[in-house]
Structure 1
Amino acid sequence: MRILFNIAHPAQVHLFKNSIRILKDRGHDVKVTAVNKEVSRYLLGTYGIEYELVGEAKNSLWGKAVELLKIEGYLYRISREFRPDILVGGVGNVYVAHVGRLIDRPSIVFDDTEHAKIEHLLMDPFVTLIVTPSCYLKDLGEKQIRYNGYHELAYLHPKYFKPDPSVLESLGLSKGDTFFLLRFVSWTAGHDIGQKGIGNRIRFVKEIEKYGIVLISSEGRLNRELEKYRVKIPPEKIHDLLYYATLYVGEGATMASEAAVLGTPAVYVSSLARTMGNFIELEEKYGLVFSYNSESKALEKALDIIETYSDREWKEKRKRLIKDKIDVTKFIVDLIEKYHSHIAR
């Protein structure tokens, strides 16, 4: 079987990296294309995944529209040469849906973002299958397949992820140190435009810092006063750091979900709070994520978690979650193989 994976966001490198490896090991011919966004190319190189670049991520709606056409043009030419049996993409991957229809091949998109309205408007009429967590809030019709898990479990399940404590040494930290990882986003993704998170970032950081060491991960530039908190580690080490953190607080939804499945309490601050099924389930069923569109309420909850923190309590919550959920990478591989067998008959 010939499979084309299109990577449109750094998180999709993690989502598909294990599936790509397994499919190759099973003898399938796998082609990877990528849109240059943040650290996507760096991660692909780090994990030894060969790829062809098809475009650049843009910030404005006009820029995104123009680049969409360019990306699909490149992807179409590559697909005509590679002749994939199936095209695969992550959240809002309009490109594989459109190109798949153009070359008369099925496309599968793994989505967990209900509020990505523009992407769904452009993608859903053309995509073959939309695969979502079982807790996804919307009914997408006969094209939708639900699974009992989260995207993040494709790479942070204990079967695939073992935390490396050396990341702590590189920052002068030790196991058991109290430190907090904060994440600020740039709000330039298509589904993020017009949204907001933490307004007074300096005040927020200063309040958290009273209780321990603050480290900041940020998509964009930081205020001069906050730049000194920026964590300087290789991007592929961020999950190790997140595992050992006392608390995650931030505007980044993906990192909040990652913290949860690692057993690190997460406080998500965004005007998009409680619009996604995975966050609602992670809060109401597992008590691992707490979502707020109020900055003051988010800070209050963060401080409450810090003051009552017990590592054993949070890791036990993680064990319960892992026990309940499936091996998502195995599910991805099996779905691709079984769907190809179905259409090949």
Structure 2
Amino acid sequence: MRALFDVTHPAHVHLFKHAIAELDRGGHDVRVLSREKEVTTDLLDAAGIEHRSLSRKGESPLALAREWLGRELRVLREVRRFDPDVVVSRLNPAAVHAARLTDTPSVVFHDTEPAGWLASSTLPLADVVCTPAGFDERWGGQRRYQGYQELAYLHPSRFDPSPEALRENGVAVDEPYSVVRLVAGDAHHDYGNDALPGEVRSRVVDTLGDLGPVYASVEGDGGAPPGTEPLPVPPERLHDLLRFADCYVGDSNTTAAEAGLLGTPALRYDTFGAGALQNFVELESEYGLVQSTEDGDRLLELVNGVARQPAAAAARWREGRNRLLADKVDVTGYMLDLLELEAER
């Protein structure tokens, strides 16, 4: 198989890294295109994945438009040179457009319903659109799987958390600590979702601080909230940190899902509105692995509930995780089977 992956966001590295490694070990020819956005290239390097950077994230709307126009041309050139059997991406217009122009099968992974123009300009041109089974939207070529994209890298068959790696970075794994994640809100999938208000953030940090250290991951220029500490681990160890935390709080959808799937109490500030993201409907109502609210006072109640009874909260989340894993698949395994079928078309 000759497979080309276009990786433009840190989350895409996690989604595809195990499939890329499996294909490489199996003697297949894999090419990875990357983008300099946040820690995307750092994560690829840490995973030992060779890649070719084609663009850097534009810092203004005009620069972003110029970047993506240039990227469209560069990706098309790479696809023509490499001549892959399949092009793989996560809702990436440049990859899908290049695949269509070269008559190459394209596989897109997509899990966020409010994607707007990005979805409408990309998915109708894809050959296969892979979504979780509960995904609310319908697209041509859609394949549904029992799982979430995060299970491509957090399923027990793919992820073995390392307490020793945390200890080497100064984390007292056996002592209570929490993780806070605050996003910049400028990604396409963040439009319509407000950031966690500063006053609520301060009260959340004060409450969590009574448990132990509060480690904060913050996008943008606002800086870490008072009372928090910067992440003590490199980006590739974030999931180890989440796995052993006593609580996660934040306005990041992906990190909330990751924490919940790892069995860590996950409390999410969300103003999209009930039912806007079907993954979270299932994670909350079926398994109790994420608790979401758009009300700051309610979020503080949830935080206090975990802080007052951390052992009981941990037991509830472990039970929910066990039930979920009995129902869901290893998404990397599903991905590899699908790519083999598409490459043979």
After TM superposition, the score normalised by the length of structure 2 is 0.93
Q: Which residue of 2 aligns with 1:32?
A: 32
Name which of 312, 325, 329 aligns with 2:315: 312
Q: Which residue of 2 aligns with 1:49?
A: 49
Question: How many residue pairs end up in the alignment?
Answer: 340
Residue type matched to 1:312 in 2? Answer: A
Q: Which residue of 1 aligns with 2:342?
A: 339
Identity of aligned residues (%): 38
Q: Which residue of 2 aligns with 1:276?
A: 277
Q: Which residue of 2 aligns with 1:130?
A: 129
Residue by residue, what CA displacement relative to the aligned partner does 1:110-164 show, whole Å, maximum 9, x if unpaired?
A: 0111111121121122111110010112122x32110000111111111111111
Residue type matched to 2:82 in 1? Answer: F
Q: Which residue of 1 aligns with 2:230?
A: 230
Contact 1:273 1:291 in 2 (8 A): no
Contact 1:35 1:56 in 2 (8 A): yes
TM-aligned CA distance change 1:288 to 1:228, over 3 Å:
closer
Tell me the SS of whatever aligns to 2:248.
strand
Distance (Å, rounded) in 1 between the aligned partners of 2:3 and 2:42: 22
Q: Which residue of 2 aligns with 1:250?
A: 250
> Aligned pair 1:296/2:294, yes or no?
no
Residue type matched to 1:327 in 2? Answer: D
TM-aligned CA distance change 1:3 to 1:229, over 3 Å:
same
Residue by residue, what CA displacement relative to the aligned partner does 1:49-91 show, whole Å, maximum 9, x if unpaired?
A: 001111122354433322111111111111111011111001x
CA positional deviation for 1:28: 1.6
Tell me the SS of whatever aligns to 1:30.
strand
Distance (Å, rounded) in 1 between the aligned partners of 2:342 and 2:321: 32
Tell me the SS of whatever aligns to 1:98.
helix
CA positional deviation for 1:180: 1.0
- Stretches of 4+ aligned residues off by more than 4 angstroms: none
Residue type matched to 1:70 in 2? Answer: G
Contact 2:19 2:335 in 1 (8 A): yes
CA positional deviation for 1:25: 2.1
TM-aligned CA distance change 1:117 to 1:60, over 3 Å:
farther
Residue type matched to 2:35 in 1? Answer: V
Residue by residue, what CA displacement relative to the aligned partner does 1:297-345 show, whole Å, maximum 9, x if unpaired?
A: 122112112223223332222111111111111100000001222x1xx
Residue by residue, what CA displacement relative to the aligned partner does 1:10-36 show, whole Å, maximum 9, x if unpaired?
A: 011111111011112222211100111
TM-aligned CA distance change 1:225 to 1:280, over 3 Å:
closer
Q: Which residue of 1 aligns with 2:264?
A: 264
Distance (Å, rounded) in 2 between the aligned partners of 1:65 and 1:23: 33
Residue by residue, what CA displacement relative to the aligned partner does 1:221-252 show, whole Å, maximum 9, x if unpaired?
A: 34475385222311111100100001110011
Gaps of 5+ in 2: none
Gaps of 5+ in 1: none
Distance (Å, rounded) in 1 between the aligned partners of 2:224 and 2:243: 28
Distance (Å, rounded) in 1 between the aligned partners of 2:108 and 2:132: 12
TM-aligned CA distance change 1:220 to 1:261, over 3 Å:
same
Name which of 325, 332, 344 aligns with 1:322: 325
Aligned-CA RMSD value: 1.8
Name which of 183, 189, 201 aligns with 1:185: 183
Residue type matched to 2:156 in 1? Answer: P
Distance (Å, rounded) in 1 between the aligned partners of 2:225 and 2:82: 50
Residue by residue, what CA displacement relative to the aligned partner does 1:147-186 show, whole Å, maximum 9, x if unpaired?
A: 0001111111111111111244245443442211000111
TM-aligned CA distance change 1:227 to 1:106, over 3 Å:
farther
Tell me the SS of whatever aligns to 1:249.
strand
Contact 1:118 1:191 in 2 (8 A): no
Distance (Å, rounded) in 1 between the aligned partners of 2:209 and 2:277: 29
Distance (Å, rounded) in 1 between the aligned partners of 2:210 and 2:273: 26
Distance (Å, rounded) in 1 between the aligned partners of 2:167 and 2:56: 35
Contact 1:153 1:327 in 2 (8 A): yes
Q: Which residue of 2 aligns with 1:109?
A: 108
CA positional deviation for 1:207: 3.2
Contact 1:61 1:190 in 2 (8 A): no
Residue type matched to 1:219 in 2? Answer: E
CA positional deviation for 1:106: 1.6
Tell me the SS of whatever aligns to 1:220.
coil
Distance (Å, rounded) in 2 between the aligned partners of 1:227 and 1:105: 51
